[in-house]
Structure 1
């Protein structure tokens, strides 16, 4: 459904952005699973190699768990900064090599502080969205 309502267009744009984050998360989970399977299949000749393989597999298992744990409620906030940048706040950080800014900022990161701490008196370089016409 096409609409001229800017608020509806903004919501649709955000839905598309969030959907792309879930697609990226699914891709990252899949990549980590493939890497872990590859690590576990690799032969280990010496005891040291077997130990290193197990450490790598455990690290990847933790990463898979971290990513899967973020699936529910991946994105829960957004901040619009006075410099024109927009940051989405979520359970984990997501980024790609091509992007200057993270696609999703971990809620514990310093960049997310204004989401929790900004007030009308101390806006912390955030802007309020313009009201819909």
Structure 2
């Protein structure tokens, strides 16, 4: 049915509002990086149009920092599309500042609080192997 897969991974030590915030931002990154994955707009019985959503399922996993960093390394090695969210982004107030704190972080050991992976099913499964679905 789908040649690709989407996995959203969120750190398991965050407050609920932070987890939801991170997952929302990661999903927008997936949609922005893969506009071809968007479905058609929705239309209700009165003919009102609504925005399109991603046309494939997204699985949400949880992990500790080590699990996120392992998925990040595997995703890089497999050439997956990655959408990162690092802890320092919680202290910024706008997109430009988010990119600045991301750039200033440790590229080899990012302080990830969330990561989205998109690519071939087998490669995403391999990168997310051993992680638990979010509870």
TM-score by length of 2: 0.27
* Bigger strand fraction: 2
| Structure of higher RCO (CA pairs closer than 8 Å, 6+ residues apart) | 2
| Rg larger in structure | 1
Q: What TM-score does the superposition give when structure 1 sets the normalisation length? A: 0.28
* Higher share in helix: 1
